[in-house]
Amino acid sequence: MDTAELSIAAMGQALRDGSVTSEQLTRAALDRVAAKDSALHAFVLVTRERALADAHRADAELKASIDRGPFHGIPYALKDIYDTGGIRTTCHSKLRLSNVPAADSVVAAKLTEAGGVLLGKLATHEFALGGPSFDLPFPPARNPWRVEHVTGGSSSGSATAIAARMVRMAMGSDTGGSIRGPAAWCGLAGIKPTYGRVSRRGVFPLSWTLDHCGPLSRSVEDSAITLGILAGHDRADPASADVPVADYRATLNQGVSGLRIGMPRAFFQTAPAVTHDVLAGIARTADQLRAAGATVEDITLPDYALFAAAGRVIMMAEAYAIHASDMRTRLLDFGTITANRFVLGAAITAADYINALRARRELTDAVNAALSRCDALLTASALCTAPRFDAPVDALSSASPMQTIPFNVTGHPAMSVPTGLASDGLPIGVQIVGRPFDEAMVFRVSRAVEVLSGWESMALPV
Amino acid sequence: MPSPDELAAEFDMLMRRAGITVPAERRATVLAGYADLCDQIALLHNRYAHTDEPANVFRLTPPEGA
């Protein structure tokens, strides 16, 4: 049995019918990490002993008829901004190399409580912003589809670990697209849930009002299972929302017949970075959804540039507030890209920030209005395929190859789901956006895209 | 829009006020990023009336019916 090809649900079935143990799943995953990670750099820390201990406990519990649910005995890994009690959490930064949290983040605690097996901590762009960089304590994660290409960021190691078949699910975080971008560039599913859906407590912040925690995974179903475990109110997270959590798997395969899907074509159609392959992929997805019974029609949202401006100003101002002291005293301890980006936050005035928050209200109202007429939106996630590491990139430019930040500004749930390969042989995807707290619909439409595109049968490169 | 020299002077002043020393070899890169950021910030200004409140205006008590 090639356990790397088992979905979370299939692993769960195999664990319960006795055809595999969690220890076997874990040792196989650790073997894949050992075999591949010296070239891919997904992990900054492999917690082998912890993983085997988690696996032994999971097996013993199942043997004793203690069943913690669909994540029981499943190996996973965490982006290295999630606090793990007693385990180093570095944010991929020299500034936090010796940081060992006393307690788990809420997400880590929930995954442990659900019976998950922690394999280790994953590479990220420094402080979830600056990268890919070669001047940090750990090398940047590489794209398993082609190692000379980037994964996208900042949940770079998370995407690498899944695309290299080391784990089926890894946690990322998304402040401007850091889950959906790497998912798009590595051929994975990645959801940014609604703002407030998953507790951020114990996750190092980049920008408090834009930060979202969520999974990247091999399939939409893997993400639906994971979010079902993580979603829920946390009184100690001031952004956490007390909103009922649906059974995401219950509606996953209901199809799209009768659904209305809006497409903000002006967002991506003439974007400077968009490629013919991505446009063709979106058009093909729209046609497939129509053929499956959905209505797909163009809608109008405010200019993309306004979303991007509001998002960047909010992110830079809030990030600077977090790092201002270190920027003054330890600037050269940050990676160059990180420092150059954070420095710009010092140039944002109070009026700039407040006007960005006024824009946020306007833009959120506009997306809500669109979603009052549609069940979901279909748009681009990445505008092109993953570039090479040596391709010139202006790290301080507002020109982005991602169109993900609008839904960080507005807080709506959004998922990147793969749709195929571009002419250069690298993955492309689309983005599905839903009403606040309606992740069930996002999963349902994304699952339909996954099936209709034929991506399910796509073999991963390694 | 300010001239490039005015923009550079403004940037230097902002860095001084923040107490940040940008290494000389990085200044041109960061300054270009600042110019790009200013273009984006301009989109946000002169857009809203005094009645348009920011997204983080808060409510101390639950809305009626909540």
Cα–Cα distance for residue pair A25/A15, rounded to 1 Å? 9
Q: Residue B66 pLDDT > 70, yes or no?
A: no
Residue with tokens 């664990």: A15
pLDDT for A238 equals: 94
| Residue B16's pLDDT band (cuts 50, 70, 90) | very high
- Residue B44: closest C-alpha in chain A: A355
Identify the CA nearest to A217 among candidates A166, A145, A260, A150: A166
CB A173 within 8 A of CB A81: yes
Active-site residue, from A93, A105, A155, A178: A178
| Predicted confidence (pLDDT) per residue in A416-462, tens digit | 999 999 999 999 999 999 999 999 999 999 999 999 999 988 888 87
Amino acid identity of residue B11, one-letter, is: F
**Does the residue A235 lie in any domain?**
yes
| Predicted confidence (pLDDT) per residue in A196-211, tens digit | 999 999 999 999 999 9
Domain positions in chain B: 4-44
- Residue A329: closest C-alpha in chain B: B20
Contact check, Cβ <8 Å, A347/B43: no
Cα–Cα distance for residue pair B59/A312, rounded to 1 Å? 26
- Residue numbers of chain A with a pLDDT score lower than 70: none
User: Nearest by CB to A309, which of B15, B44, B48?
Assistant: B44
Cβ-Cβ pairs closer than 8 A, A with B, add up to 103
Q: Residue A73 is part of which domain span? A: 3-457
**Does the residue A59 lie in any domain?**
yes
**Does the residue A157 lie in any domain?**
yes
Active-site residue, from A22, A154, A158, A223: A154
Any idea what the CATH number is for the domain that residue A97 is in? 3.90.1300.10
**Does the residue A385 lie in any domain?**
yes
pLDDT for B65 equals: 64
User: Nearest by CB to B37, which of A310, A347, A355?
Assistant: A347
CB A175 within 8 A of CB A212: yes
Identify the CA nearest to A131 among candidates A152, A105, A114: A152
**Does the residue A139 lie in any domain?**
yes
pTM: 0.97
Peptide bond preceding A436 in cis form (omega within 30 of 0): no
ipTM exceeding 0.85, yes/no: yes
Number of folded domains in chain A?
1
Partners of A312 on chain B (C-beta within 8 Å) are 37, 40
Q: Is A240 a catalytic residue?
A: no
Distances from the Cα of A257 to the Cαs of A140, A168, A219, A291, A417, in angstroms?
42, 29, 21, 9, 19
Is B45 in the A-facing interface, judged by CB distances under 8 Å? yes
d(CA A247, nearest CA chain B) in Å: 24
Q: Residue B63 pLDDT > 70, yes or no?
A: no
- Residue B53: closest C-alpha in chain A: A358
**Does the residue A462 lie in any domain?**
no
pLDDT for A459 equals: 84
Q: Is A154 a catalytic residue?
A: yes
Contacts of A437 (CB under 8 A, 6+ apart): A194, A197, A241, A243, A413
Partners of B56 on chain A (C-beta within 8 Å) are 209, 357
Contact check, Cβ <8 Å, B37/A361: no
Both tokens of A149, joined, read 């290409």
Distance of CA A346 to the CA centre of its chain: 28
Is B23 in the A-facing interface, judged by CB distances under 8 Å? yes
Q: Is A79 a catalytic residue?
A: yes
Cα–Cα distance for residue pair A381/A184, rounded to 1 Å? 7
**Does the residue A112 lie in any domain?**
yes
Contact check, Cβ <8 Å, B41/A309: yes
d(CA B53, nearest CA chain A) in Å: 6
